[in-house]
Structure 1
Amino acid sequence: MENIVPNPNPNPKESVPSAIQCPMLMSMSYTLWAMRMRVLMRIHKVWKTIKPGSTDPNKNDIAIGLIFQSVPEVLILQVGVQDSPKRIFDATQASHLGADRVKEVRLQTLMSEFERIKMNESDKIDDFAGKLSELASKSISLGQTIEEPKLVKKFINSLPRSKFIHIIASLEQVLDLKTTSYEDIVGRLKAYEERILEKENHGDTQSKLLYANSDQQSFSSSRGRRRGIGGRGNRGRGIGGGSN
């Protein structure tokens, strides 16, 4: 009968799936990074080195290695002098929570500006669309994406009603604004604006021609009257001269 050799290590260390990667702090907010790091360290069985802290040198080394893989080099130089993963983690938190608060304030200011902005009568569609796109890009850089339906709705509601009421009503009837792209709406409004400008320019040209013709007729009529008055006066003076 074959002897059964007992396993000397009844609880072998489980291998970590290769799909698990360390989250990089530079590409996300500290809060999101900390949440992902907590999960990662639990998977590696070293979260207790952070909360509450540990004196196990092996686990501390694993935790420090995970943190150093998850932060940019410049931050490693700042926090790497700490002698435990708990202190390194706390130093990372202290250096980034302040930056996150500043980012949050900037985002609130940006969103307030987004809610208040309106298109002026003198603005062009292209210019106003560019302003909204710029605000949307800044919002993304601060960690919040303005969804396209919200951007489309904001654009439509910000247009001067006196100038665009007819095209707005038409678009709301024929399009589903929840699925229409921002570029499509901007393109349609630009085409409408160009037709308005063309019509206004054509009307101005017609008005100028009518004014010029009217002015020319007035000038000719006035000149004719002056000639008639002058002719009668000359004839009168001639008769008078003959009788003298």
Structure 2
Amino acid sequence: MLIVPYVGGSLSQPAPVLTGENYTTWAIKVEDDLDAAGMWEAVVPPVDAAAAVIAKKDKPARAYLLRALADDLLMQVAAKKTAAEIWSSLKVRFVGADRVRAARLASLRSEFELLRMDGGESLDAFAGKINGMAARYAGLGSTLDDAAMVKKLLDCVPNRLYAAVAGMEQFCDLSALLFEDALGHLKAFDERLRRRGQAGGEQADGALMYTAAQWRARERRQGGARDDDDVRSEASGLGGNRRGRCYKCGDRGHFKRECPQLKKAPAAERALVVDGVVEDDGLL
């Protein structure tokens, strides 16, 4: 459909087509289009509305609804004379009577309870699923309140966001917290974690490992490091070698920098040992 003129407004965008499997989203879009054009009251007349005003809006609203139907559905409601009759017929067909509606609501509640956040799924994508559930609730004449949506969101976030969840549980009233606000807090915390990891996480880990290596080298230079042979010899009363084992020749009683074999090594190797660069790894 291109344009359906009306004195109070116009429908300038193509109508969404009802295929029989997209009723909930279709109804939301059509209601919004008709309301923006000032014709929704022709579909659901207000109690105190003037009949003459509604009659003027009925024809363009009916024409819009007919253009928004697939061919097989169009033939089933073509005999309806007003937009309100067409809408009511479609709602009864796809929403169902009270018993069917109650059964669908129960099924939808179970589906909502089983909803989980997939591995690697973004917060926005999961929030979209929750909002989709809320729209389906609305399509069945029920509501999914913010408290239930917030609880589902906080229960399903990945482990890296548990600190933010704990903070909201401690400092916020979750029963009054809006879903959009909870989502905003989590996204802000997640973005801060990502920035911190990209900026300094790897550097901090590297610095920690380098410090540990330096500490081991310091212990060896001071004669404080002992191996298993030292511990066993002390336990047997042999005293042990407090100076440890040479990393150059394997003998006890001297450090690598004092090893007789090192005197025969190239000058570059001796300089490195004096500077303490390779004191702890024993590769040279």
Alignment TM class, shorter chain as reference? 0.3 to 0.5
Larger radius of gyration: 1
TM-score, length basis structure 2: 0.39
Choose between structure 1 and 2 for higher RCO, CA contacts under 8 A separated by at least 6 residues.
1
Larger % of helix: which? 1
